[in-house]
Structure 1
Amino acid sequence: MTSTPALRALADRLGDRLLLPGDAGYDDARTPWNLAVEQHPAAVARPADVDELRALLDAARADGLQLAIQPGGHGASGSLEGAVLVRTAAFDGIWVDAAERVARVGAGVRWGEVLEALEGTGLVALAGSSRVVHTVPFVLAGGHSWFSRAFGLGSASVRAVELLTADGRHRWVSDDDDPELMRALRGAGGAFGVVTAVEIELFPARELVGGRIVFDGADLGPVLHAALAAQESAPDTVAVHASALRVPDVEAAPPALRGRTIVTVQAVSIDGAEVLDDVLAPVRAAGGVQLDTIAPIGIEQLAAVADEPTDPSAGYSWARFADLGPAELDALIAAWQGPAGGAVMLFEFRGLGGAIAAPPARPAISGSVPQRHVLSARAIAVPGIEPAVQAGFAAIREALGEAVADRTFGTFLEAEPSYAGAYEADELARAESLRRTIDPEGRFRGNRDFG
């Protein structure tokens, strides 16, 4: 570390809030959510306040380093060599004004905490399926929500952003005072400074109902076709996701599920049980229901719908927008069940449309999506499996041909190093031009580049 004297001096001052390679706790602190991504930053910082953020900025400039902001590491995509990894757990405030339908959320706050703060208000935020994902990076990267068909992507709900820019200013920014920066922040926020909080719009929900219906793999074809039809017929107040999972025959899996294929349909309605039951009736009739958790829920229970894992793990993912019809779904199933798809553990398709297909309510890089679905596939990372997994992803992509687009949501890019897989080239060029203006030294390193 002799080449980073300013960082070393700051580490003496901040103690365990600034960890250097070799320090106790450094390896745990640098580890991202996806354990398959290796990060080796010059240091890991957990600043207590804005003054310490400024000190980090000054030290990084003095030592020729960058700052890379990852509240929880869900967006990790590279090694981070030459950068200080900044965690923002200390910025943990939540303020809700139910009358004005607005919330201010700090960069260290996870979605589960926001949902709990909304309990009893009759309002929803544009949250995703996991309670442990941090709110700020989710909405700044677009953010596909259970409620996006009704109200748009999470980025469209962002009314203002509080951030520290490369010139050392810490301020709130809105469309009224800097519309060009706000446009760029709604999609690629981490590339323009340290975002410490956002102000987001909240939305009314008449009656929140949600849950999942689980079937055995023997019913895979009929259930997924019924789910596809349900997605097409559902009103914009209803979201339907469908997935097929091969449960690994490993000790960590529940004994009753090891080696089995499970088909799951998840759904959420903001307009009551009757509407959702009408949408799901053909799905329930398509196979033998083994579990049905569809019921009225409070917003604080939203994460129970998907019941996603809450601990970090190692894995590989692929996702793209798609237009699936019955023939394309059959091709998808065949590819997944064929020899090349054997290493792919899960695939899922979510119904889009509604407000997602319309221009966003507020200007954003993450604009409208014309495709009717987003398709994703995942696999567990174990030694030596990556070539087979990538071959499986390629087989799915090839089987669907022109039904698959070249883009996906920014939050679905996983370890991809560029935003090119999420946004249009002209939008990226516009954002990159702005970044060079407000951060001419390139002091901030986003999770992805604009190439």
Structure 2
Amino acid sequence: MSATASPEIPSTAAVAALRDAVTGPVLVAGDADHPAELATYNLTVVHTPAVVVGAATVADVQAAVRFATTHGLPVAVLGAGHGSSVSSAGAVLITTRRLAGLTVDEETRTARVEAGVRWAEFIEQAQKAGLAALNGSSPTVTVVGYTLGGGLGPFGRKHGYAADHVTALDVVTADGELRHVTADSEPDLFWALRGGKGNFGVVVAIEFTLFPMQAFYGGGIFFPGELAGDVLHLFREWTRDVPEEMSASVGLLHLPAAPFVPEPLRDRLVAHLRIAYLGSPSEGALMVAPFRELGTPILDTVGPMPYAAVASVHNDPVDPLPLYEHGALLRELPAEAVDTILRFAGPGAPSPLVLAEIRHMGGALSRPPAVPNAVGNRDETLYNVFLVAAGGPPDAAALHAYEQELIDALAPWSTGRRYLNFMFGGETDPQTVALAYAPESFERLTKIKQRFDPANVFRINHNIPPAA
């Protein structure tokens, strides 16, 4: 059966044959290990695939893709599950956590990372070599999934997106073939994979350049909620002049009274300044001084820290949660925009949000990379607004509505575009996904999709459809 055929429910015999063909587990509903294999970080997405393949080798991935196309089924990929956005109902779901190869080359300042490796594992290994990558804020996100969507991290204003520094990718495309993709071997596919996320195949490994780094000046300052307005307005003015070596964000947090939350931060509104400065500690301290003059913080962890402690800058939760997220890109951040955010998420607001974050962009994030890629919306964007709410399925509609109301209120200062890694459930139709790219880039992506995945096998994602 071809990839364009109508989907069929794989027979018991077909699943048994797949089990014989792969090294890792092949599971269906009712198998004892089935629920654990489907574990995901964002609990709002429930996976009910036709078949799960726990890929232990690249050959397993190839067999799973060929099995899917034979039966006319789509392919879904699950790493850590932070970016889960679409249910895998009826699909062949490939889990990548067993693809755990990790090599850091101190001499060439490069790394090769397989699809199951998370940032915490990579950072520990890189620190031993005195090297760093453009990791994200969360240590439990996979390196590959994060990078394919762009990769916006604590050192972005100095070095750009993580995708800008990828030099090669190994990907299994819809025909089941393994391709080693570089700027020379497959220039169009190389461009599309870096920013196109999982639309063009299953990326089983990537290679990228690293930067010398033993330590940096960074951390977080938590202010009581009554200072939120002062903190956000100072952040707005302060970010006009800071150098590219300074990457920073500020978040309005309302954390639960849970064991994983430090006691002083439980069940209260706090304003959390997060910084990472790639300069001397004395320079960093001078730049942060205006914030420290605002008032007595609840906690202040800013200071010299080893690269291995970079996850403490944002202190993202590591336990699975049911999260509803939204976002916007802003071309400017006037006082009126800050007041709008405070009205929805500041003191006295009836806010259901766990986080309302303003992230400073610009610098290298606004410039095209040395080797072009599909990551879009660089030049107009000076700030990224990211919203997070938590709750069960009965809360979903109300949480989405509140987030959308805030995003709509920011429209006068918005570019109207989006950042792909901050797009989640309910934002997977092609018209919305297109907002993550320049129009000409999205058109090019659809044409490349037509070449490498004409049947749209890889559609359980923020989908880029093949060109007609």
State the TM-score, normalized to the length of structure 2.
Answer: 0.90
Which one of the candidate residues 343, 362, 380 is aligned to 2:371?
362
* Alpha-carbon displacement from aligned partner over 1:212-237 (angstroms, at most 9, x marks no partner): 01111111111121222232221101
Q: Partner of 1:19 in structure 2?
A: 27
Cα shift at 1:255: 5.7
- The equivalent of 2:388 in structure 1 is 378
Letter in 1 for 2:355: L
The 5 A counterparts of 1:3-402 are 3-5=9-11, 6-11=14-19, 14=22, 17-205=25-213, 207-248=215-256, 256-322=264-330, 323-337=332-346, 341-367=350-376, 368-402=378-412
Identify the range of structure 1 (111-120 vs 137-146) with the bigger mean alpha-carbon deviation.
111-120
Residue 92 of structure 1 deviates from its aligned partner by: 1.1
Q: Alignment partner of 2:127: what SS?
A: coil
Equivalent-residue separation in structure 2 for 1:339 and 1:301 (angstroms): 34
Distance 2:256 2:392 in 1: 12
Distance 1:54 1:236, change over 3 A: same
CA contact (8 A) 1:238 1:268 kept: yes
The answer as to whether partners of 1:192 and 1:438 remain within 8 angstroms in 2 is yes
Residue 113 of structure 1 aligns with an amino acid whose one-letter code is: E
Structure 1 pair 265–35 and aligned structure 2 pair: CA distance change class (3 A): same
Partner deviation per Cα, 1:123-155 (whole Å, 9 max, x = no partner) = 320101011100011111101011111111111
Counterpart Cα distance in 1 of 2:214 and 2:57:
39
5+ residue gaps, structure 1: none
Give the CA RMSD over aligned residues.
2.3
Contact 1:247 1:260 in 2 (8 A): yes
Matched, 1:428 2:442: yes
Partner SS for 1:198: strand
- Of 416, 420, 445, the match for 1:410: 420
1:121: Cα distance to partner? 3.4
Q: 3-state SS of the aligned residue for 2:157?
A: helix
Gaps of 5+ in 2: 1-6
- Amino acid paired to 1:185: L
Change (3 A) 1:215 1:340: closer
| TM-aligned CA distance change 1:303 to 1:249, over 3 Å | closer
Q: CA deviation at 1:258?
A: 4.0
Check whether the contact 1:320–1:407 (CA below 8 A) recurs between aligned residues: yes
For residues 78-102 of structure 1, what are the alpha-carbon distances to aligned partners after superposition, in whole Å with 9 as ceiling and x for unaligned?
1222311111122211111223221
Structure 1 pair 221–372 and aligned structure 2 pair: CA distance change class (3 A): same
| Shift in CA distance, 87/280, structure 1 to aligned 2, threshold 3 Å | same
Identity across the alignment (%): 33
Bigger mean CA offset, 229-238 vs 247-256: 247-256
- SS of aligned partner of 2:410: helix
User: Secondary structure of 1:288's partner?
Assistant: coil
Q: Does the CA contact (< 8 Å) of 1:343 and 1:388 recur in 2? A: no
Deviation of 1:60 after TM superposition, in Å, equals 1.5
Structure 2: distance between partners of 1:118 and 1:347: 31
Residues 190 and 241 of structure 1: is their aligned pair in 2 closer, same or farther, counting only changes over 3 Å?
A: same
How many pairs were matched up? 451
- C-alpha distance in structure 2 between counterparts of 1:436 and 1:46, whole Å: 28
Residue 136 of structure 2 aligns to a residue in which SS? coil
In structure 2, relative to structure 1, the CA distance for the partners of 1:257 and 1:102 (3 Å cut) is: closer
Any conservation in 2 of the 1:157–1:201 contact (CA below 8 Å)? yes
- For residue 187 of structure 1, report the CA deviation from its aligned partner: 0.7
Higher deviation after alignment, 246-255 or 42-51: 246-255
Aligned letter for 1:184? Answer: A
The residue type equivalent to 1:356 in the other structure is: L
Amino acid aligned to 1:417: T
**Letter of the 2:216 counterpart:** L
Who is 2:3 aligned against?
none
The 1:160/1:386 distance shift into structure 2, 3 A limit, reads same
Matched-pair contact (CA < 8 Å) for 1:191–1:447? yes
Q: 1:250, 1:102 → 2: CA distance?
A: 40
Secondary structure at the counterpart of residue 69 of structure 1: strand
Aligned-pair CA distance for 1:15: 8.3
Cα 1:442–1:359 shift into 2, 3 Å:
same
Q: Distance between the aligned counterparts of 1:253 and 1:153, measured in 2? A: 30
Tell me how far apart the structure 2 counterparts of residues 253 and 302 of structure 1 sit (CA, whole Å).
18
Q: Normalization by structure 1: what TM-score?
A: 0.93
8 Å Cα contact 1:341/1:395 also seen in 2: no
